[in-house]
């Protein structure tokens, strides 16, 4: 039997689809923009894969765990932490101190690991509470997933639990991004600590990396090639990152580093688009190509850092609209790419491999892992 801590940050990830680059301190704004809670849904998906497993859960009350276990039909759990609503700035909402307090109690109960649902901020809180004394594993639900303690999807997090007897334990970096700087377009990643995680190759993310050495020439070639094939009747949505930015540099226009920007006939027509803004553009433009670069060394094309390219956007634009770009150095780091649109059927429409433009008239055929 596994004794597992189970802690959910119910507000993690809400900012993603509404164009906020993180939810910390922005829950009310996210709600005002129409955001819905995604973390409990992902946590429920994780649990639903483990109904027949011999696992006992230590959890927090209400939406931090117990409600979700109940929804999944799981009765083998103990509530070890009542809700205290410690976030003074958001009445009746749980906050980082609740996460930390719950994790400290779970660690004191000698659990085998702590499973948490959230993003980089949640990972930082969990680590702050328990350090590397107990393994932790994240269900990816946040806007920013730069830390290496997350499974690639809720399903693979469950797979790791299913194969608990054969897992290895390894060190993984806890990173976080300065949210204020992130919103200003500066990617400022800090190493916060080294946690212990259960690990099965292919099921865990490695830490995102902000840079991959000197691959500027590749980016210039990629930019030149994409600009050469751009058609006047097509709208181009460019995702975050320095590789996509090289395309707009070639065009002589300025792109936001971290947002989704729209280019038509060589001109920037919209910047930092959220899902609603993209959907509105898709109604006006018949031909659309979405150009994305895998996120960091994790190799996520969809599902991390660019949640604005939602399953609704992809359904409307079509999976064939996707052009993936990445430097060869980056592809050495991430030979396989991940797609997690949140819709398994849509994920599978991307097939098992995809060409990644890595130079002028040059691509690398990369495997896609999706669940």
Q: Which stretch binds another protein (CB under 8 A): 2-10, 146-154, 306-314, 323-331?
A: 323-331
What is the rounded CA–CA span in Å between residue 71 and residue 142?
21
Place of tokens 């469950």: 158
Q: How far apart are CA 15 and CA 18, in angstroms?
A: 6
Q: Which two tokens stand for residue 262?
A: 């729209």
- Select 24 or 221, whichever has its Cβ closest to another protein: 221
Question: Which range, of 97-105, 157-165, 279-287, 326-334, touches another protein by CB under 8 A?
Answer: 326-334
* Burial of residue 78 (number of CB atoms within 10 Å: 0-12, 13-18, 19+): exposed
Using rule CB under 8 A, residue 225 touches another protein: yes
| CA–CA separation, 28 and 151 (whole Å) | 28
Selected from 202, 213, 318, 335, the binder of another protein by CB under 8 A is 335
Based on its alpha-carbon atoms, the radius of gyration of the chain, rounded to whole angstroms, reads: 20
366 binds another protein (CB under 8 A): yes
Q: What is the crossing angle of helices 39-48 and 154-162, to 10°?
A: 30
228 binds another protein (CB under 8 A): yes
Among 229, 253, 254, 284, binds another protein (CB under 8 A): 229
Question: Of the two residues 146 and 212, which places its CB atom closer to another protein in the complex?
Answer: 212
Which one of 71, 268, 364, 371 is in contact with another protein (CB under 8 A)?
A: 364
List binders of another protein among 344-363 (CB under 8 A). 355, 357, 359, 361-363
**Residue 348 CB-density burial (10 A; 0-12 exposed, 13-18 middle, 19+ buried):** middle
Q: Is 34 in the site for another protein (CB under 8 A)?
A: no
Q: Which of residues 79 and 224 has its CB atom nearest to another protein in the complex?
A: 224
Q: Which residues pair with 81 in a beta bridge?
A: 60
Q: How many residues does the chain have?
A: 371
Q: Is 216 in the site for another protein (CB under 8 A)?
A: no
Which residues lie near another protein (CB under 8 A)?
A: 217, 225, 228-229, 323, 328, 331-332, 335, 355, 357, 359, 361-366
């Amino acid at each position: 039997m596994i004794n597992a801590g189970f802690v959910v940050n119910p507000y993690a990830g809400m900012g993603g689809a509404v164009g906020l680059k993180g939810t910390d301190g922005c829950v009310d704004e996210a709600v005002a923009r129409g955001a819905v809670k995604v973390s409990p849904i992902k946590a429920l998906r994780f649990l639903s894969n483990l109904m027949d497993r011999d696992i006992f859960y230590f959890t927090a009350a209400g939406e931090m765990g117990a409600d979700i276990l109940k929804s999944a039909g799981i009765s083998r759990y103990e509530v070890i932490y009542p809700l205290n609503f410690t976030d003074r700035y958001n009445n009746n909402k749980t906050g980082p101190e609740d996460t930390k307090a719950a994790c400290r109690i779970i660690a004191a109960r000698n659990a085998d690991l702590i499973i948490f649902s959230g993003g980089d901020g949640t990972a930082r809180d969990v680590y702050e509470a328990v350090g590397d004394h107990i393994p932790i594993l994240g269900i990816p639900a946040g806007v920013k997933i730069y830390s290496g303690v997350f499974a690639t999807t809720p399903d693979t997090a469950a797979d790791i639990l299913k194969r608990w007897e054969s897992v290895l334990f390894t060190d993984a970096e806890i990173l976080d991004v300065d949210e204020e700087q992130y919103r200003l377009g500066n990617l400022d990643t800090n190493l916060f600590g080294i946690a212990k995680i259960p690990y099965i190759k292919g099921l865990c993310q490695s830490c995102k990396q902000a840079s991959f050495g000197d691959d500027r020439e590749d980016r210039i070639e990629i930019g030149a090639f994409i600009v050469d094939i751009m058609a006047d009747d097509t709208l181009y949505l460019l995702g975050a990152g320095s590789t996509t930015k090289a395309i707009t540099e070639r065009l002589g226009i300025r792109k936001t580093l971290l947002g989704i920007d729209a280019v038509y006939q060589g001109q920037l027509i919209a910047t930092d688009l959220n899902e609603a803004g993209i959907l509105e553009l898709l109604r006006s433009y018949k031909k659309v190509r979405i150009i994305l670069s895998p996120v960091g060394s994790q190799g996520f094309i969809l599902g991390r850092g660019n949640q604005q390219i939602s399953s609704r956007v992809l359904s409307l634009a079509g999976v064939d609209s996707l052009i993936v770009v990445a430097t060869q150095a980056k592809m050495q780091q991430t030979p396989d790419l991940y797609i997690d649109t949140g819709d398994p059927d849509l994920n599978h429409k991307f097939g098992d491999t995809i060409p990644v433009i890595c130079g002028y008239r040059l691509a690398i055929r990369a495997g896609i892992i999706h669940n």
